[in-house]
Amino acid sequence: MNTLLLEAHNGVLHITLNRPECRNAMSLEMVNELSAVLAQLDSQARAVVISGAGGHFCAGADVKDMARIGGTPQLQALNRAFGTLLQAVEALPQVVIVVLQGAVLGGGFGLACVSDIAIADHKAQFGLPETSLGLLPAQIAPFVVKRIGLTQARRLALTAARFDGIEAQRLGVVHFTEHDPQALAQRLDEVLGDVLRCAPGANARTKALLLASVEQPLGPLLDQAAQWFAEAVNGEEGIEGTQAFVHKRKPSWCK
């Protein structure tokens, strides 16, 4: 990998965006490498943690990369590839956690919005700067709307406003705001501990159910949920979990 650092430990894959010389701006190479890594995840990975090198998460699209690509069809393909990446991250069966420091702009903001759990430094800088550059947050916009609602998304996108981690928590972009790197690391450990106490299969199905609740009609969704619930009760995890509860022991997925 030229743009990513990877480390797997205890069922958690840590992905570090590694282009610190440009605040981890998202190049086509980074999009392709991140997409390839996620496509190869297996059931051994129960959570994915995405962070950035050099004190920044991601400053958005690599403008130099866009200038190099040049042509309209090529730029359209590049832009849509990033949207496909965001869809893939959102749909992962694993729990996706982002650790946000420094620049969380444009595409970086979009990546934060498709995470399951977001932890931010209170001084991190969030924003959608595209319109101030004469551009559009084309692939990011639907995920921002889903995360914080249409009213706030319109305000942020149409003013290119910058805001810090505290405001990001108030808006619902992030779940936890911390004041120093040690506190960020401690919070991440706590969140991972909570995630790893949950059965991976149950988490995957629950995540799919929650995502489907945004778009699917209620009746068919509840029918599907009832089927998944019955399968879970009689499945390997359900049997193990209830037996562990009865016998007052930890289930097998707790390490």
**Residue 218 lies in domain:** 200-246
Does residue 253 belong to any structural domain of this protein?
A: no
Based on the domain organization, do 241 and 153 belong to the same domain? no
From 176, 196, 216, give the residue that closes a domain. 196
Closest CA to 196 of 100, 94, 113: 94
Q: How confident is the model at residue 255 (pLDDT cuts 50, 70, 90)?
A: low
Based on the domain organization, do 125 and 47 belong to the same domain? yes
One-letter amino acid for residue 191 of the chain? V
Query: Per residue in 36-75, pLDDT tens?
Result: 999 999 888 999 999 999 999 999 988 888 878 778 888 8
Based on the domain organization, do 97 and 83 belong to the same domain? yes
Based on the domain organization, do 176 and 234 belong to the same domain? no
Does residue 95 belong to any structural domain of this protein?
A: yes
Q: How many CB atoms lie within 10 A of CB 186?
A: 12
Give how far Cα 253 sits from Cα of 102, 178, 223, Å: 35, 29, 28
Query: Per residue in 160-181, pLDDT tens?
Result: 999 999 999 999 999 999 999 9
The token pair at 19 is 């282009």
Q: What is the pTM of this model?
A: 0.95
Does residue 38 belong to any structural domain of this protein?
A: yes
CATH of the domain at 179: 3.90.226.10
* Counted domains in the chain: 2
